[in-house]
Structure 1
């Protein structure tokens, strides 16, 4: 059975894409810890990050770095935090979260955003991408 992320990759579920290449996709988390919370995933459905082949893992981290750099240029923050938890969806995903305080990494703390805010933010991050 396909995960929600695989359905996003296939276009079956809409998302606010910020970056994409042949192997990976980055999109805004619709239930964000902080404004600008991005998820970076491999397009191939793999459950655990440690199950990625070495080269795909390294390629994912290069992609994540590019997205984080664009995110930091777009959303005012002290730094961009990274987390890999993997309990919510059995598909590798790296969280990139703009941080101004430790509570921004608290996954029980969420912020609300309107559709227009998501759309504008996705566009702003895309404009800063250097893939």
Structure 2
């Protein structure tokens, strides 16, 4: 079982901004920029290239919606989507507000942010998604992928 499956199951704490039948979106614990989120399918798919086309299409649409919310919330000119997948063997798309290509390197990840800062970034994205009309997909609580 992957760490993401454990987070989705509630065995490991997570910070959720989106949930639907196919995927969740949660905050990374090592953000490259404030508001950096991960779009993760509920099904354990190891690699991007292993996912079926319908799932990838859904993940892309969710990433777009999250990216649009991040741009508004953080005043970013772009939203970036990165697919690497080396750190966890469970497909995930990194979605983050971006100002330039230099800031999109994984060696810019901040591993020591206080929980309060991660919580604040999560709430910022949750609020932006609700404001954008996606409130039905924003979980009732940031610590659970359950919807109302």
When the two structures are superposed, what TM-score results if normalisation uses the length of structure 2?
Answer: 0.81
Q: Is 2:101 the partner of 1:102?
A: yes
Who is 1:75 aligned against?
74
Instruction: Determine if the alignment matches structure 1 residue 121 to structure 2 residue 121.
Output: yes
What's the CA shift for 1:113?
2.8
SS in 2 for 1:26: strand
* Unpaired stretches in structure 2, ≥5 consecutive residues: 138-148
- 1:103 CA displacement: 2.7
8 Å Cα contact 1:24-1:40 kept in structure 2: yes
- Report matched runs for 1:1-131 at 5 Å: 2-111=1-110, 112-129=112-129, 130=134, 131=137
- Mean alpha-carbon deviation: is it higher for 86-95 or for 110-119? 110-119
How far has the Cα of 1:101 moved from its partner?
2.7
Contact kept? 1:82, 1:97, Cα under 8 Å: yes
Structure having the larger proportion of residues in helix: 2
Tell me if the contact between 2:63 and 2:81 (Cα under 8 Å) persists in the aligned partners.
no
Alpha-carbon separation, structure 1, partners of 2:67 and 2:116: 22
| Structure 1 unaligned spans of 5+ | none
TM-fit CA distance, 1:38: 0.8
- Count residues in correspondence: 130
Contact 1:80–1:96 (CA<8 Å) still a contact in 2?
Answer: yes
After superposition, the C-alpha distances for 1:53-77 in whole angstroms (9 at most, x for unaligned) are: 1111111111111111111111232
- The list of structure 1 runs, each at least 4 consecutive aligned residues, that deviate by more than 6 angstroms after superposition, is none
RMSD between superposed Cα atoms in Å: 1.4
